[in-house]
Chains A and B, each alone.
Chain A
Amino acid sequence: MSKKAVADFYVVANTPLNSTNFLLKLKSTSTLPTFKPGQFVNVDIKGTDEIFLRRPFSIFEVDYNENTLSLIVKILGRGSKKLTEIEVGEICSLVYPLGNGFTIPLKGEKVLLIGGGSGVAPMLFLAKVSETQHDNINLLLGARSIEDHVDVQKYAEYGYLHFSTEDGSLGETGFVTQHSIFRNNLQYFDRVYACGPDAMMKAIAKEAKAANVFCEVSLENLMACGFGVCLCCIEPTNKGNLCVCTEGPVFNINDLKW
């Protein structure tokens, strides 16, 4: 049995979540492997010569009964823009499963999961499969404004939800690192996880390091292959230049040169 696959999926839903994020739900004709939160798929985007390479997307949800997986597609450039135009019924080729995934929180561990923008995707997946119980999970989700937040109310069943917006239109005003749950008692948590813009993750990493708290972040670099042969998506680490696609995308902050 091969560890990785390339296969065609059918688009079963492509729903706008807000002005820049879309929920893309894809159905496989073959049985899906077990995905880990933090892992990603590399998506082929058809329709133009300008888009030659696949685009990596973190896995948001997997339904093993339906054989579907969902991605949050944020419009960042020509590739992601084109992908949001795909229609239900169309075929979409994926390379999967890629990357290492987050360390799954164990029973009884208190965790803070921080997602910024479309970075909420792997955080919600992690909350869902986490072995620790609801009361130990705090999800802190940040965005510029209430319109940029993806509706995640159903995730309240996995943990406590906290919001921050830069304009104060939802939850506390400011960046996630200015939120009271982060500010007041970071050492309360056994594990802190983050996915979002680099500046956000770097700010979180700095505080987590100072508080000596376990912290993993999910990086997003430009990639060509996604499975470790092109050596393009490297991140300088204490172990040298590592491929974000195979040695990551999840890194412990102590291994990074941040």
Chain B
Amino acid sequence: MVDLKIKIHNIEFKNPVMTASGTSGFAEELMDFYDVSQLGALFLKGTTLKNRDGNDYPRMAETASGMLNAVGLQNKGIDYFIENIYPRIKNYDTPLIVNVNGSTVEEYIELTERVNELDKIPAIELNISCPNVKEGGMAFGVSCVGAEVVTKAVREVYDKTLIVKLSPNVTDIAEIAKAVEAQGADCVSLVNTFLAMAIDAEKRIPLLSTVTGGLSGPAIKPIALRMVWQVYNAIKIPIIGMGGIMNATDAIEFMLAGASAVQVGTAIFKDPFIPVQIVDGIKDYLERHNLKSARNLIGALQL
């Protein structure tokens, strides 16, 4: 019997397979297909203090082995979440993690304080890496100073597990990871989407209303994997790896590169069952390789 459990900070997860924010709604949407308690955790759709309508249509463009999105953090705001969604999902038998967004440091603090009141939310994912909003978002995540300021401010008001989601749109992601670790982050998750664009040559127009958007899917996997490896070699806190994971082999590669857990994102659009299949696939892999625990995979790359 293999042990799939992993621990990040003070939370024990039943397995290392989680869903990425913005790809699994508020968990209910996946419940239409299966019981989400089979998953390690769910990272809920990016939430802000106030309602956001998001960007104009079109917000999506298919690209080779992936897609661009420019959703722009559409959500109904934290009050709506607390009053309407949280009561329906809070008893799901797996950790639910709120993805926290702001356009100013004050907004990050206020939102974090609101989420802190929710007993059944054991952690937040601080999103300093959304490429699709005009203010805040990625602006904080692309400099060490910006990342430090937000992380420090949120750390001061939040005692539960603080995960910081990093942007890949930087010169050296390891430096940003070190900066947030120094300010008290308990974990980093990486990577968010890559700033990218797509054009309709016949019409000579961009395919997204915002011109640029975030690239995700298998197209980014090798770069994301390299970044996880670089960060693993630079910091001591645990890493949640993501970027184009489509199957158990991909997930295992991220763990070998140093991730303690993985998030499955864009793959869910293709097939919502992929995260569940990855849980089974990791189990099979561990049995096949005579490994007792999923923890044996973390950073186990042989050089």
Residues on A facing B (Cβ under 8 Å): 2-6, 44, 49-54, 79, 93, 95, 221-236, 240-241, 246
Contacts and interface: CB of A to CB of B under 8 A. Distances in A.
Interface stretch (B53-61, B235-243, B280-288, B290-298): B53-61
Contacts of B270: 44, 52-54
A59 to B, nearest CB: 18
A151 B21 CA distance: 46
- Tell me whether chain B's interface is mostly helix, strand or loop, or mixed: loop
B130 to A, nearest CB: 13
Contacts of A241: 53-54, 74
B66 interface: yes
B217 A230 contact: no
A228 B28 CA distance: 10
B159 interface: no
Interface residues of B, number: 36
B24 interface: yes
Contact of A224 (B24, B30, B33, B69): B69
Nearest to B59: A232
Interface of B: 22-25, 29-30, 32-34, 45, 51, 53-54, 57-67, 69, 71, 74, 217-218, 266, 268-273
B33 A231 contact: no
A30 B72 CA distance: 39
A50 B71 contact: no
A224 B54 contact: no
A52 B33 contact: no
Given A224-B60, A235-B57, A3 B32 contact: yes
A2 B64 contact: no
A228 B45 CA distance: 11
B32 A93 contact: no
Contact of B64 (A49, A95, A225): A49
Given A230-B269, A234-B57, A240-B53, A52 B65 contact: yes
